Structure 1
Amino acid sequence: MTAIYFPNKCDEVAVFSFCNEINACSGQEKIVIDFSRMGRVEPFTMIYIAKFIGEFNRENKKTVIQCFGYESKEYAANMGFFKAFGLNHGKAPSSTQGNSRFIPFTIMSVHTINDEAGKNWMSGQDVIEKRSKQLAEVLSQEEGTTLVDTLTYSIREIMRNVYEHSHSEKIAYCAQYWPTYHKVEISIADKGIGLRKSLKNNPFIDIKNDSDAIQQALMPAISSKNYKGNSIDKDDPWHNSGFGLYMSSRICRLGGSFLICSGSHGIKLTTAEKEHMELNHFCSGTVVRMVLDTSKLTELTSMLTMFREDGYEIAKNIKGVGMYTASAASQMLSRDFKK
């Protein structure tokens, strides 16, 4: 029997290390997870770890996981964290709508999106837009402000990526806003095919590993569908331009951060740097964490216009960009940080 302590802090290094400890126990008869040291948990911690433990359970059906020390962890219980990975404690995911500037652990079915779209003569993207705005208003406790517009945009673009590219049946998300600290954290995950497999559909992209795939996904105008020779209806307001992850990451880097994990790799972008992270375990699908500094947000339209123009200009000046390679993506991101 192996005992594993839940981390007492919520940074990504501690989260990945915890998952690696569990992963190392694959095939054992019994694992004990001790939550007694659990401190403050944030959306990414809950989304990533619940996803990982749930998938570990499905892949290791003969391994028994016992949990201790969780009874007093009321915040995580009310957010739906424990039931999200199979422990019968606290609220279930999607059981509450959220209030007091938080969105609990929520699982949204793609089937539900399509069903609502069909009943209301809308596109699935319109449904995602509506849901994103509702989430933004709950988080901010505001209506019609720059903060609402920015949150709506950021949430919508990540959810659109899941809906349009991942082949995932569900979208999981969780969020929290701390007005005193001018900080919003939003985490969104799927169980789809992952970035590497998705981008392989684009014949103009050269991808050798998960690091390449993530870097390509962060480039402007790059996607699994937006490429020469692929028929796209440009009159469709939701046609895929491949700017979603790039624009969202630029918004987050205004004093915050953007973390994306897929396969065996993760990349974290902050105001000043790009950090590669080897996970040492497998992250199925894609997980995104967006941290926004609300004191740095300006009028959304002008902000997005500037980012889009930056992206086009940098990509245009990269040599050999006809075939998008990992080195070109890395070069573009490096130049982007100098702006």
Structure 2
Amino acid sequence: MNRTSSADVEHWLSQLETLQQTQRCDSPRFMKPFHLATLAHSLRQRNATQLALPEKIEGYADTMNLWGALDIVSPFPPKERRAAGRYHPVELLKDEASIDGAATALANLFRSVCSNERTIDAIQTMLRELIGNCYAHSAVTDGVYGVICAQVWAGGRKAQIALADSGIGIRASLQQNHLLFDRLNVENSCEIATEYGVTGKPGKGHSGYGLAVARGLLERNNGVLYVRSGHEAFYLSSNAAQKFSTDSKWDGTLLVIEWDLDQQMDIKVVYESFPLPEGLDDDDFFI
């Protein structure tokens, strides 16, 4: 299976803009979680009350619970979705108390194709950090902080998680930290956000680990990390990174994480590469 490129995501986001303007857009030939997460996020923001999809993709969209996430009646009969399988349907993030549960459920999805407990633990820890960010930087009015979904391709030996939040955006968040003012004037905020210790709220319980952990894991896995917020984007693939500005704007933050199922991910190695915060030692991180 081909890895997701930044061009793949950018093309789809441009189609979502076309959808907003004309109520129609071209559908992808092969749908992945990032298509569904962004579509659900965009349609929810516009309070969509109906949805019609091409026949070639509507079955997949129903399996991923797109209509349910939009609170629209599906054209398909109700189906029982497996607790564990090859996909995690589109889920609305509504309750901060459910962060651990959501991270665990997603990590369990990958147990069907991965028996390495270090990798499962790394995925769960990364997700706990990233889902927590949705609540830490929220700007919601309807109680929905974001959407998340995932899929495993056993034959292609890849997995993908897509997370779109309804926050204030990376640049606006980092601008709350006056120590970053000079850097934000000349640098890409999405790239800055992937660095260790970068946070918009220093000293307020926000460690800046989330995206740094994801980047560290995916660099060692030769995977993909795509970060999009506002008019800025950062893309990492097989350890080659690029940052760029975009014509279209994405409200909130979009993350696409894709990795090789046959390569171990070890959270301990990533944490050991970070300088320990003052007053802490290894026992605060590892069991």
TM-score norm. by structure 2 comes to: 0.78
1:32 alignment partner, SS class:
coil
Is contact 2:69–2:92 with CA below 8 Å preserved after alignment? no
2:74 aligned partner, one-letter code: H
Deviation at residue 249 of structure 1 after TM alignment: 1.2
Superposition pairs for residues 178-189 of structure 1, below 5 Å?
178-189=153-164
Per-residue deviation, 1:104: 0.6
**Alignment RMSD, CA only?**
3.4
Q: Find 1:304's aligned residue among 240, 260, 270.
A: 270
Query: What's 1:212 paired with?
Result: 188
Relative distance call for 1:19 and 1:86 in structure 2 (3 A) is farther
Deviation, structure 1 residue 41: 1.0
Correspondence for 2:151: 176
Could you report, residue by residue, the CA deviation over 1:135-172 in whole angstroms, capped at 9, with x for unpaired residues?
A: 21133237881222011012111111112223444231
Aligned CA distance change for structure 1 residues 246 and 34 (closer, same or farther; 3 Å)? closer
Which residue matches 1:48?
Answer: 38
Alignment check: 8 A CA contact 2:41 2:146 kept: no
Query: Structure 1 residue 199 and structure 2 residue 199: aligned?
Result: no
Q: Alignment partner for residue 104 of structure 1, among 83, 89, 94?
A: 89
Structure 2: give runs of 5+ residues left out of the alignment: 278-287
- Residue 160 of structure 1 corresponds to 132
What SS is found at the alignment partner of 1:180?
coil
1:31 counterpart residue number: 23
Q: Which has the larger radius of gyration?
A: 1
Q: Is the 8 A contact 1:101 1:177 kept in 2?
A: yes
Partner in structure 1 of residue 65 of structure 2: 80
**Given the superposition, is the C-alpha separation of residues 299 and 15 from structure 1 closer, same or farther in structure 2, using an over 3 Å criterion?**
closer
Q: Which one-letter code corresponds to 2:63 in the other structure?
A: N
Structure 1: give runs of 5+ residues left out of the alignment.
Answer: 1-8, 114-123, 233-238, 313-339
Query: How many Å apart are 1:82 and its aligned residue?
Result: 4.8
Do the aligned partners of 1:52 and 1:283 also contact (CA within 8 Å) in 2? Answer: no
Please give the TM-score of this superposition, normalised by the length of structure 1.
Answer: 0.67
State the SS of the aligned residue for 1:128.
helix
Write the letter of the residue equivalent to 1:137: N
Could you tell me which amino acid in structure 2 is paired with residue 297 of structure 1? Q
Q: 1:130/1:271 Cα in 2 relative to 1: closer, same or farther (>3 Å)? A: same
Change (3 A) 1:76 1:102: same
Residue aligning to 1:235: none
The DSSP-based 3-state class of the residue aligned with 1:73 is helix
* Runs of 4+ with >4 A deviation: 9-12, 24-27, 82-88, 95-98, 207-211
* Matched-pair contact (CA < 8 Å) for 1:133–1:148: no
1:246-261 aligned at under 5 Å gives the runs: 246-253=212-219, 254-261=221-228
Shift in alpha-carbon separation, 1:40–1:266, aligned structure 2, 3 A: same
Match of 2:165 among 187, 190, 200: 190
Contact 2:18 2:25 in 1 (8 A): no
**Structure 1 residues 78, 295: CA separation in 2 closer, same or farther (over 3 Å shift)?**
same
CA distance in 1, matches of 2:122, 2:198: 22
Deviations 1:203-243 (A, max 9, x none): 101254796321221111110122xxx4x4xxxxxx43212
The equivalent residue for 1:294 is: 261
- The match for 1:146 among 112, 115, 118 is 118
- Aligned identity (percent) is 19
In the alignment, the residues of structure 2 paired with residue 270 and residue 103 of structure 1 have an alpha-carbon distance, to the nearest angstrom, of 23
Q: Given the superposition, is the C-alpha separation of residues 84 and 211 from structure 1 closer, same or farther in structure 2, using an over 3 Å criterion?
A: farther
Report how many residues are paired.
267
> How far apart are the structure 2 equivalents of 1:151 and 1:205?
29
Q: How far has the Cα of 1:257 moved from its partner?
A: 1.0
2:239 corresponds to which residue? 272
Query: How far apart are residue 107 of structure 1 and its match?
Result: 0.5
Which residue matches 1:236? Answer: none
Structure 2 letter corresponding to 1:160: G
Q: Aligned to 2:231, what secondary structure does the other structure show? A: strand
Give, in angstroms, the shift of residue 279 of structure 1.
3.2
